[in-house]
């Protein structure tokens, strides 16, 4: 049984009404000063060996592999001389080295739920904005480790798949996409997981950031497909405190944020059944993750984000499959 929808709130501003921000302004928009302090202390090493050569923080299982050019960076003392691009030196008279995207590094794709239900907010920021903050934190962290990061937003009229990359400009592309996307429409998690399973060529870390309010019978086969192809999977379930407590007192009209439907009810009369249904759904979601060797992390939008993600990273850095 799916929990009943909560009251509809005023929609956020349209993408065209939002101004362009710098990377620093974007990070400050999503993350508090405390979150940024935690971010500067964090590392997220892989707990699983992956194919290819040894790069970054991740151990390799096989020697060899291929690389793809990512970008140039100014030479710094300590860089290997053999990595200098002498053709670039001839053109610009500046020492620059080549940086590469390597398929042996553990790439990460964040699948962010952009459905209408993620737009719900009451006493805190919306679930979608909290999910954006989770995505921004993890993206900045992993790109700082030279790990490729990609983004896919599951919603109607999705902005498209941002393939995992390590280039310095990729952070801005991801943050800008988050900032200018408005949650709407039905949940598209299952079909976007199917897309990832068919398009990711190398074992990757797939992180779903979602309220998890979807049909688990359609979600489980896609998770099984991903984990069966050696992709690691994490689910970070993001819910509002009101969805957990459901402590409304006055009769309300509960309007769906995904389809045109509503339910007039006295919250005190349905509260017990609602909480039981929510607990059953969350437990089913947790067990689904356990069945497929995936991690499950509950997040509530009134939690300090930096501290919650540090706990998540610590548990999953030590985790063995």
Query: For residue range 90-104, what is the model confidence (pLDDT) as tens digits?
Result: 788 778 877 665 555
Q: How far apart are CA 122 and CA 242, in angstroms?
A: 7
Whole-number pLDDT of residue 84: 81
Whole-number pLDDT of residue 158: 80
Report which of 292, 291, 313, 311 is spatially closest to residue 303, judged by C-alpha positions: 311
Whole-number pLDDT of residue 21: 83
Domain ranges of the chain: 15-48+105-317, 68-101
Q: How far apart are CA 247 and CA 35, in angstroms?
A: 29
Whole-number pLDDT of residue 118: 97
Mind listing the pLDDT tens digit of every residue in the chain (321 residues)?
555 555 555 555 555 456 678 899 999 999 999 999 999 999 998 644 444 433 445 444 333 334 566 566 677 666 677 778 888 777 887 788 776 655 556 799 999 999 999 999 999 999 999 999 999 999 999 999 989 999 999 998 887 899 999 888 999 999 999 999 999 999 899 999 999 999 998 889 999 999 999 999 999 999 999 988 889 999 999 999 999 999 999 999 999 999 999 999 999 999 999 999 999 999 999 999 999 999 999 999 999 999 999 999 999 885 544
Whole-number pLDDT of residue 52: 40
Buried b (16+ CB within 10 A) or exposed e, 249-259: eeeeebbbbbe
Q: Which residues contact 122 (CB under 8 A, 6 or more apart)?
A: 6, 7, 9, 240, 241, 242
Q: Is 310:42 a contact under the CB 8 Å cutoff?
A: yes
* pLDDT one-digit tens code per residue, 101-150: 555 567 999 999 999 999 999 999 999 999 999 999 999 999 999 899 99
Whole-number pLDDT of residue 86: 81
CATH architecture of 15-48+105-317: 3-Layer(aba) Sandwich (3.40)
Displacement of CA 109 from its chain's centroid (Å)? 7
């Amino acid at each position: 049984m799916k929990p009943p929808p909560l009251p509809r709130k005023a929609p956020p501003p349209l993408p065209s009404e939002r101004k362009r921000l710098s990377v620093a302004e974007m990070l400050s928009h999503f993350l508090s000063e405390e979150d940024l302090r935690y971010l500067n202390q964090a590392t997220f090493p892989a707990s699983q060996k992956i194919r290819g050569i040894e790069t970054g923080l991740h151990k390799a299982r096989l020697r060899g592999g291929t690389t793809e050019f990512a970008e140039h960076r100014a030479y710094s003392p300590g860089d290997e001389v053999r990595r200098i691009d002498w053709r670039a030196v001839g053109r610009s008279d500046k020492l620059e080295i080549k940086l590469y995207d390597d398929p042996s590094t553990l790439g990460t794709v964040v699948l962010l739920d952009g459905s209408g239900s993620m737009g719900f907010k009451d006493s805190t920021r919306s679930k979608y904005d909290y999910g954006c903050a989770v995505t921004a934190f993890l993206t900045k962290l992993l790109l700082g480790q030279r790990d490729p990061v990609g983004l896919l937003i599951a919603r109607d009229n999705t902005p498209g798949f941002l393939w995992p990359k390590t280039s310095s400009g990729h952070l801005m592309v991801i943050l800008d996409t988050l900032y200018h996307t408005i949650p709407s429409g039905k949940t598209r998690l299952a079909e976007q997981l199917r897309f990832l399973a068919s398009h990711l060529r190398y074992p990757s870390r797939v992180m779903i950031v979602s309220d998890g309010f979807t049909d688990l019978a359609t979600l489980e086969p896609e998770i099984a497909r991903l984990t069966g192809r050696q992709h690691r999977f994490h689910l970070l379930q993001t819910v509002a405190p009101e969805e957990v407590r459901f402590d409304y007192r006055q009769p309300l009209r509960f309007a769906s944020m995904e389809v045109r439907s509503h339910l007039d009810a006295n919250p005190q009369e349905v509260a017990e059944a609602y909480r039981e249904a929510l607990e059953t759904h969350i437990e089913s979601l947790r067990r689904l993750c356990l069945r497929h060797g995936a991690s499950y992390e509950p997040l509530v939008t009134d939690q300090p984000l930096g501290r919650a993600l540090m706990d998540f990273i610590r548990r999953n850095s030590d985790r063995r499959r």
